[in-house]
């Protein structure tokens, strides 16, 4: 069985169990008058059953089964680039209320562009500054979206 | 029949007002861009533009968002042909012969035949909608909670069966979507469920955040994870004078366009990612009936004309179940359902009588939108194609910024952005582990409706499940559900029998 399938199936099984457990604490009612918890409880059990069936089917499948072979031509993942890109995006959300939209956008773009391989400092600065300014004009000044202003107050 | 034509003319009266024409144009252009840009498909595109429609009346809003959906079908073909990278999933099949045509210096002709085929298919499909929607709406008036529950159940099972990949995985994703749909207030009793003390969760999980996360952020992360050489792939941009197809191209394509239209229209009416299935079905049909099947895969124009017409026809006819039953069968129409509800329009059998302006105005606008797209896509293809010259390493941060800002603007909430990013990460993992996101999104949108229908049915029958089997429509939907549940087993058994018959030694 592929490791991803085993992990995925197990996570879904446990998630189904958790949902069923939490729903069981709610009023289940009767079939005549279903309560708040009945539908999610049934869904939790259904997910557990499907996940168990999935794990079983994968465990029983022979190694020659195409589902158990790695897909052909699967592209390699640049994990470092991905983590830097996503990490910077998450970090910018902490900066957004503090620095305000234009400054946080500028920093985010600067970092994301550099992460993806734009190395020329001039181009990086021009791109980040112009996009941050244009998006501020478009979203804040024109569409009047109340994006966080932060300490700078823009 | 003539009554429907009369309503359609009224619809043209609504769609041809200056404001609605403008929003139709905006939707068509935005859709084309969404289709072209990597990292944005019609689902994320429509979801992102919902906030921009808040100040519009419902007709203008849906005209614009519908334009994004079918505009993306046109735009998606551009990247398939020029870059061998489908702008969205419905254009995957166009890559095969479209890119080969581009390699032979016939990119312009491929793009032109896409635009012409899509226009013809869209126009015919709209006429089909005009005549099919009113009688279907009348029939749907007889539907009660058991029929709706069985129909939605049938929709999930069929969708899980046809999305490709593992049936069990897709089914589990649909159940996850239903579970996420239970977060917030119980639609019947008003009790809290799975809110864990967070007031943010009282209103339920924001479906726009899930849609942009799974389909927008997930795709951006998928692109970012690619190695440098994939990020730097170059694009062929055709010259304007190369855009006109020859008479032979037209002669070879017309049959494919009409067949693709028929296939697409039919597929759009049933649950599933209609445009994707329609393109595959059309390609297979074209290849099978062609006089020169050896040309397929090497730049056969029929391999572009058929699928591209099919995806546009499917995309138009997918509006029928949405408008008439209030049940979207495809993920982009699920997002459109959310938009309709935000604008206070409840789609369903009564939509024709309660909101005739929205219904007929949107249908008429699709015809106008298709014409706008034809005009846009022929002369402006080189212009749109130039967007593809912007390297992905610059485009992807821009798409990410657009998603972040667009998400904030839905409810002016940072929580929504966190949620979107969470689902973005989940979407990326799901892609890598081959779990389909479409059943999850559809189930999330339909979950609350399905639960209400289920509970109402049980209350009506005093807890007797036989009600689902004693009502003819409900029973028919459940029979189809059962058939599709058994289908993977039947297929496996059939393969086993075939192998034993033709290879009794048991070797591979």
Mutant choice from B219, B224, B421 vs A, greatest count of A C-beta within 10 A: B224
Please give the mean pLDDT across all residues of chain B: 84
> Which segments of B108-223 are extended strands (E)?
184-185, 192-193
Whole-angstrom distance, CA of residue B203 vs CA of residue B188: 14
Question: To the nearest whole angstrom, how far is the Cα of B279 from the nearest Cα of chain A?
Answer: 23
The 10s digit of each residue's pLDDT in B207-221 is 889 988 998 899 889
Q: How many Cα atoms within 13 Å fall on the side-chain side of residue B247? A: 0
Examine residue B507 and state whether it is found in any structural domain, yes or no: no
Please indicate, yes or no, if residue B102 is contained in any of the structural domains. yes
* Contact between B181 and B443 (Cβ < 8 Å): yes
pLDDT (mean) for B385-410: 84
Chain B residues with CB-CB distance to A37 below 8 A: 193
**pLDDT number for residue B326:** 86
Q: Verify whether the Cβ–Cβ distance A51 to B172 is below 8 Å.
A: yes
Look at chain B and report how many structural domains it folds into.
1
What pLDDT digit, counting tens, does each position of B67-106 carry?
Answer: 998 888 788 787 778 767 666 667 778 888 888 888 787 8
* Lookup result for tokens 């084309």: B32
Which residues in chain A (98-117) have CB-CB distances under 8 A to chain B? 101, 105, 108-109, 112-113, 116-117
| pLDDT for residue B240 | 54
Between residues B400 and A78, the one the model is more confident about:
B400
Which structural domain range is residue B399 located in?
Answer: 2-497
Closest CB to A8 among B178, B418, B433: B433
Kindly state the average pLDDT of the residues B268-294.
80
Region A139-150 average pLDDT? 85
Beta bridge pairs of residue B281: none
The beta-carbon neighbor of B226 closest among A8, A71, A78 is A78
Q: Which is more confidently placed, A73 or B173?
A: B173
Residue of A nearest to B221 (CA): A82
Q: Which of the residues B168, B188, B440 would you substitute to probe the A interface, choosing the one with the greatest number of A C-beta atoms within 10 Å? A: B168
Q: Do A147 and B226 touch (CB under 8 A)?
A: no
* Confidence (pLDDT) at B496: 72
For residue B315, is pLDDT > 80? yes
Least confident of A10-14, A70-74, B49-53: A70-74
Q: Which residues of A touch B228 (CB under 8 A)?
A: 78, 117
Q: Which of residues 356 through 415 in chain B touch A, CB cutoff 8 A?
A: 392-394, 396-398, 400-401, 404-405, 408-409, 412, 414
| C-alpha distance from A1 to closest chain B C-alpha (Å) | 13
Residue B178 lies in a domain: yes
Average pLDDT over residues A106-135: 93
- Averaged pLDDT, B452-473: 93
Per-residue pLDDT at B163: 65
Helices (H), chain A: 3-24, 38-60, 79-99, 101-115, 121-135
> What's the confidence (pLDDT) of residue A88?
95
**Mean pLDDT, residues B219-231 taken together:** 80
- Look at residue B409 and tell me whether its pLDDT is greater than 90: no
- B433 contact residues in A (CB cutoff 8 A): 4-5, 8
| Angle, CA B93 vertex, CA B91 and CA B99 arms, to 5° | 90
pLDDT band per the 50, 70, 90 thresholds, residue B39: low
Q: How many Å apart are CA A147 and CA A103, to the nearest integer?
A: 12
pLDDT score, position A126? 94
Residue B403 belongs to a domain: yes
**B257-277: pLDDT as tens digits:** 999 999 988 888 876 667 777
Q: What is the pLDDT of residue B273?
A: 66
Residue B505 has pLDDT above 60, yes or no: no
Q: Is A125 on the interface with B (CB under 8 A)?
A: no
B492: in domain: yes
Name the pLDDT band for B456 (thresholds 50, 70, 90). very high
Whether the complex's predicted ipTM surpasses the cut of 0.85: yes
Give Cα separations from B331 to B31, B69, B85, B207, B310 (angstroms): 16, 11, 21, 11, 17
Question: What pLDDT sits at residue A130?
Answer: 95
* Contacts of A138 by beta carbon, 8 Å cutoff, 6+ apart: none
Buried b (16+ CB within 10 A) or exposed e, B15-40: beeeebbebbbbbbbbbbbbbbbbbb
A19 contact B CB<8A:
yes
Per-residue model confidence (pLDDT) at position B23: 94
Tell me the shortest Cα–Cα distance from A111 to chain B, in angstroms: 9
Tokens (6 digits) for A52: 């168990």
């Amino acid at each position: 069985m592929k490791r991803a399938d085993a992990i995925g199936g197990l996570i879904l099984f446990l998630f189904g169990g958790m949902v069923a457990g939490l729903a069981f604490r709610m009023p289940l009612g009767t079939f005549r008058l279903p309560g708040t918890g009945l539908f999610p409880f049934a869904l939790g059990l259904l997910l557990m059953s499907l996940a168990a069936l999935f794990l079983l089917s994968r465990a029983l499948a022979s190694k020659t089964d195409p589902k158990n072979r790695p897909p052909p031509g699967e592209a390699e993942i640049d994990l470092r680039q991905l983590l830097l890109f996503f990490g910077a995006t998450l970090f910018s959300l902490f900066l957004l209320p503090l620095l305000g939209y234009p400054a946080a956008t500028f920093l985010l773009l600067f970092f994301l562009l550099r992460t993806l391989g734009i190395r020329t400092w001039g181009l990086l600065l021009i791109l980040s500054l112009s996009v941050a300014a244009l998006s501020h004009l478009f979203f804040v000044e024109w569409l009047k979206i109340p994006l966080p202003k932060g300490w700078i107050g823009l | 029949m003539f009554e429907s034509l009369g309503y359609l003319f009224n619809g043209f009266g609504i769609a041809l007002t200056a404001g609605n024409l403008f929003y139709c144009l905006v939707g068509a252009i935005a859709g084309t861009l969404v289709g072209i840009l990597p990292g944005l498909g019609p689902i994320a595109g429509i979801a992102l533009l919902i906030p921009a429609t808040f100040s519009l009346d419902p007709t203008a809003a849906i005209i614009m968002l519908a334009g994004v959906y079918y505009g993306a079908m046109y735009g998606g073909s551009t990247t398939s042909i020029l870059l061998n990278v489908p702008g969205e999933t419905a254009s995957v099949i166009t890559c095969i012969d479209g890119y080969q045509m581009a390699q032979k210096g016939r990119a312009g002709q491929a793009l032109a035949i896409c635009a012409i085929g899509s226009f013809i298919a869209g126009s015919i499909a709209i006429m089909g909608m005009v005549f099919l929607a009113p009688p279907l709406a009348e029939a749907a008036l007889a539907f009660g909670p058991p029929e709706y529950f069985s129909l939605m159940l049938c929709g999930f099972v069929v969708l899980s069966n046809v999305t490709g990949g593992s049936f069990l995985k897709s089914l589990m994703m649909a159940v996850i979507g239903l579970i996420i749909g239970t977060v917030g207030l119980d639609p019947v009793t008003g009790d809290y469920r799975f809110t864990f003390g967070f007031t943010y969760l009282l209103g339920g999980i924001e479906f726009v955040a899930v849609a942009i996360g799974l389909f927008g952020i997930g795709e951006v992360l998928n692109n970012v994870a690619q190695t440098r050489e994939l990020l730097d792939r170059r694009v062929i941009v055709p010259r304007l004078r190369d855009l006109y197809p020859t008479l032979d191209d037209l002669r070879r394509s017309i049959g494919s366009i009409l067949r693709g239209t028929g296939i697409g229209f039919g597929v759009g009416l049933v649950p599933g990612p209609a445009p994707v299935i329609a393109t595959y079905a059309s390609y297979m049909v074209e290849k099978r009936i062609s006089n020169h099947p050896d040309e397929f895969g090497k730049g056969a124009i029929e391999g572009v004309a058929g699928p591209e017409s099919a995806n546009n026809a499917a995309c138009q006819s997918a509006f029928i179940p949405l408008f008439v039953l209030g049940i979207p069968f495809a993920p982009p129409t699920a997002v459109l359902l959310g938009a309709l509800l935000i604008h206070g329009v409840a789609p369903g059998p009564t939509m024709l009588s309660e909101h005739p302006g929205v219904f007929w105005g949107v249908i008429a606008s699709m015809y106008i939108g298709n014409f706008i797209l034809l005009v846009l896509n022929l002369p402006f293809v080189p212009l749109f194609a130039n967007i593809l010259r912007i390297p992905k390493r610059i485009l992807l941060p821009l798409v990410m910024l657009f998603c972040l800002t667009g998400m904030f603007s839905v409810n002016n909430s940072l929580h929504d952005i966190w949620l979107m990013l969470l689902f973005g990460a989940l979407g990326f993992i799901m892609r890598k582990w081959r779990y389909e996101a479409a059943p999850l999104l559809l189930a999330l949108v339909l979950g609350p409706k399905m639960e209400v229908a289920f509970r109402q049915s049980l209350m009506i029958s005093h807890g007797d499940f036989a009600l689902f089997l004693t009502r003819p429509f409900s029973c028919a939907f459940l029979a189809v559900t059962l058939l599709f549940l058994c289908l993977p087993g039947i297929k496996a058994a059939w393969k086993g029998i075939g192998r034993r018959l033709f290879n009794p030694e048991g070797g591979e």
